[in-house]
Structure 1
Amino acid sequence: MNNWTETMTKLMERLIGRLKRLPETQQDRYAAAYLAELDDDQRWEELFAQTTDEEWQKIASKARTEARKEESVPLEEFLGSNES
């Protein structure tokens, strides 16, 4: 095993240990959230893998055009700020 795998395993064991101490309903809530996140990551990876170089070029061109026309929104504004 490499260090990353060993570290991840220890982190996962630590996480699972903490989850085991929670009530079953909370365990299920966390498990559902983590599984949904993993599913979402897999879907994005599949979409990225299926995207052709031509499609990436079109996306980049559209983004550059929107930026030039000032039609794009800064990421911070799009996501919203947590600061008051």
Structure 2
Amino acid sequence: MTPEQFDNTGFCGNMWAVHKCEKKFVVTANFPERLFGLLPEKPRSDFDDETMIEWVRCENVSEVFYTGGNNVANINANQEQSEGEQ
């Protein structure tokens, strides 16, 4: 994902990212640094262990997607980059 894609991503609950070919839950983000805060799976509502968060640069995320309700979307960073280069 490019920094521009990160800036234009609509962050919300039930958001997932693909990092190193693994689906991980986006629990938080650092917008100034363009970082995703990832967990291996969606936490229960009582999650409070910040030491489990894996911080990764947006460039190391290949895809983000949303699940649940009417808020379903998929952003494939590789596909969007290819289309933009044409």
Q: If the length of structure 1 is used for normalisation, what is the TM-score?
A: 0.20
Report which of the two has the higher share of strand: 2
Q: Whose Rg is larger?
A: 1
Choose between structure 1 and 2 for higher RCO, CA contacts under 8 A separated by at least 6 residues: 2
**Structure with greater proportional helix content:** 1
